[in-house]
Amino acid sequence: MSERPAIVLLSGGLDSSTVLAIARAQGFRPAALTFRYGQRHAVEIEAARRVAAAQGVADHRIADIDLRVFGGSALTADIAVPKGRAEAEMADGHIPVTYVPARNTIMLSFALAFAEVIDAADIFVGVNAVDYSGYPDCRPDYIQAFETMANLATKAAVEGRRLTLHTPLIDLTKADIIRRGLELGVDYAITSTCYDPDPQGRACGQCDSCRLRLKGFADAGLSDPAPYV
Amino acid sequence: MSERPAIVLLSGGLDSSTVLAIARAQGFRPAALTFRYGQRHAVEIEAARRVAAAQGVADHRIADIDLRVFGGSALTADIAVPKGRAEAEMADGHIPVTYVPARNTIMLSFALAFAEVIDAADIFVGVNAVDYSGYPDCRPDYIQAFETMANLATKAAVEGRRLTLHTPLIDLTKADIIRRGLELGVDYAITSTCYDPDPQGRACGQCDSCRLRLKGFADAGLSDPAPYV
């Protein structure tokens, strides 16, 4: 069987780097898509390039989307990234200020365009409903609704080819994700997850994203190989 | 009753300029959203600015999205725009080369982000299922699926505020749209619909978009006030 193409949304963080390895393990030939969206953590893009190269991705595109035109998030506007929040606070059902309005919808829409252009019928995205920090667009019913919409949106759909949205991490804890990635040979030292890294790309260790990541490694009985300040 | 905010996708063409007037007539305070997406017909953006100004829009944002990263359409890649196609050829169910992959999905996703940021619960878009030239993402079932997805995607949705996607042109012929717009005082002389205008912004008169527009004016017993080459 020849490898089928699949789009993988690759931020360069822990989750998407694991998803990329899972797509390859499932026999897909991944094309990676990374966004430059006016985010503070632009070092993520360099991490995405390292991860794509390390995993032998032949087609990696960087799409520019400037969400600063809308503001509204600590990741794109001039709002402080919260530091040192307790796990209970992250999991209280409130949506944090780091939420970027409609971000997953926008990114998946670009993935849909990319899929259509290279004739891919599969899109992989690293959303997670366990450690999702209260983001509405990480929930399973949202993902299902996006897939339904996507199957009405495109030329491929009109021609009867069904698109599948894969979310292999959706029910995994961070520790599960890390264990799975390590089985597949993911090098987490080159990934970048932090919302507020320093100019050298070292993680802050204090934002929600860092805390969830560090807790994941601790729960798996491991230490994180990535650099911290 | 104070005016509620609504997002209006405004390309500067005939349809979206009419939609803007309809949103205002329905008592909304429209915020307009226009895209600079590497399209050939960038004069559309100037048309959008003129239309927004003429209709008193206080908040008009231009979002950059570079779809050239994917190629795949005569509107964004180096493929010739077809000229002089007969109406039967446009309406034969084939998707034309001017189709931009996932364009409406991407634009509506940005509208969703904008709506979330300014607390709007209404989005207006000028899709049309009658003269839709074979684009899958102009069909009513697609629009309904997008609305369902959007209501699962956002912070507002999580908080129980329902978003409505308005498509006031969906069942209208081009002639109906023009008549409705003229009733509402739309100045079609300042709109731009052509896929391939000259540098002065004058329409070619030969592409699918021009032909549908010219036929609409003819069917309404009117002549188009916009400049042609």
How many other C-beta atoms lie within 10 A of the C-beta of residue B70?
Answer: 23
**Phi, psi for residue B4 in degrees, rounded to 5:** -90, 145
- Joined tokens for residue A16: 């998407």
Of B65, B100, B154, the CB nearest to A102: B154
- Tell me the mean pLDDT in the region B121-140: 83
Helix, strand, or coil (residue B157): helix
Instruction: List CB contacts of A75: < 8 A, sequence separation 6 or more.
Output: A39, A40, A41, A81, A98, A100, A195
CB B103 within 8 A of CB B67: yes
**Phi, psi for residue A140 in degrees, rounded to 5:** -55, -40
CB B104 within 8 A of CB B83: no
b/e burial code for range A172-197 (CB count within 10 A of at least 16 → b): bbbbbbbbbbeeeebbbebbbbbbbb
Closest CA to B128 of B119, B118, B137, B138: B138
Q: Which of B9, B39, B151, B155 best probes binding to A when mutated, by most A CB atoms within 10 angstroms?
A: B155
Q: Whole-model pTM above 0.90?
A: no
pLDDT digits (tens, 9 = 90+) for B168-177: 999 999 999 9
Of A106, A108, A113, the CB nearest to B67: A113
The Cα–Cα gap between A117 and A106 comes to 17
Distance separating the N- and C-terminal Cα atoms of chain B: 46
Per DSSP, helices labelled H in chain A are: 14-25, 43-54, 87-90, 103-118, 140-153, 155-158, 174-183, 208-219
Residues B42, B122, B31, B118, CA torsion sign: negative
- The reply to whether A76 sits in an annotated binding site is no
- Tell me the mean pLDDT in the region B149-154: 92
ipTM above 0.90, yes or no: no
CB A34 within 8 A of CB A48: yes
The Cα–Cα gap between A126 and A135 comes to 13
Which band of pLDDT confidence, cut at 50, 70 and 90, is reported for residue B131?
Answer: low
Strand partners, B28: B4
Closest CA to B125 of B216, B211, B6, B220: B6
- Joined tokens for residue B126: 């000028």
The Cα–Cα gap between B62 and B33 comes to 6
Minimal C-alpha gap between A20 and chain B (Å)? 20
Q: Tokens 């360069």 identify what position?
A: A12
| pLDDT > 70 fraction of chain B, expressed in percent and rounded | 83
CB B133 within 8 A of CB A89: no
Q: How is residue A68 annotated by DSSP?
A: G
DSSP A77-97: SS-PPPBS--HHHHTSSPPPT
- The reply to whether B13 sits in an annotated binding site is yes
CA closest to A108 among chain B residues: B106
Q: Hey, are the CB atoms on B113 and A101 less than 8 Å from each other?
A: yes
b/e burial code for range A198-220 (CB count within 10 A of at least 16 → b): eeebebbbbbbbbbbbbebbeeb
Looking at residue A217, its pLDDT comes to 97
Minimal C-alpha gap between A123 and chain B (Å)? 14
Q: Hey, are the CB atoms on A72 and B117 less than 8 Å from each other?
A: yes
Could you state, in order of their start, the residue ranges of all structural domains in chain B? 4-220
Looking at residue A51, its pLDDT comes to 97
Looking at residue B89, its pLDDT comes to 56
The Cα–Cα gap between B220 and B215 comes to 8
Helix, strand, or coil (residue A42): coil
Would you give per-residue pLDDT tens digits along chain A (229 residues)? 468 999 999 999 999 999 999 999 999 999 999 998 766 567 778 999 999 999 999 999 999 887 778 875 555 655 566 676 655 555 555 555 556 678 899 999 999 999 988 999 999 999 987 765 567 888 899 999 999 999 999 877 778 889 999 999 999 999 999 999 999 999 999 999 888 888 888 999 998 889 999 999 999 999 999 999 9
Closest CA to B147 of A143, A145, A111: A145
CB B65 within 8 A of CB B33: no
Which whole-number Å values give the CA distances from B117 to A24, A47, B121, B162, in the listed order? 37, 29, 11, 15
Q: Hey, are the CB atoms on B72 and A117 less than 8 Å from each other?
A: yes
CA angle A29, A32, A36 (to 5 degrees): 175
pLDDT digits (tens, 9 = 90+) for B59-87: 999 998 877 788 755 555 555 666 766 55
The Cα–Cα gap between B149 and B147 comes to 5
Q: Tokens 């190269």 identify what position?
A: A53
Minimal C-alpha gap between A225 and chain B (Å)? 33
CA closest to A151 among chain B residues: B142
CATH number for A4-220 (one of 3.40.50.2000, 3.20.20.70, 3.10.20.740, 3.40.50.620): it is 3.40.50.620
Of B114, B137, B152, the CB nearest to A136: B152
- Joined tokens for residue A146: 């996006």
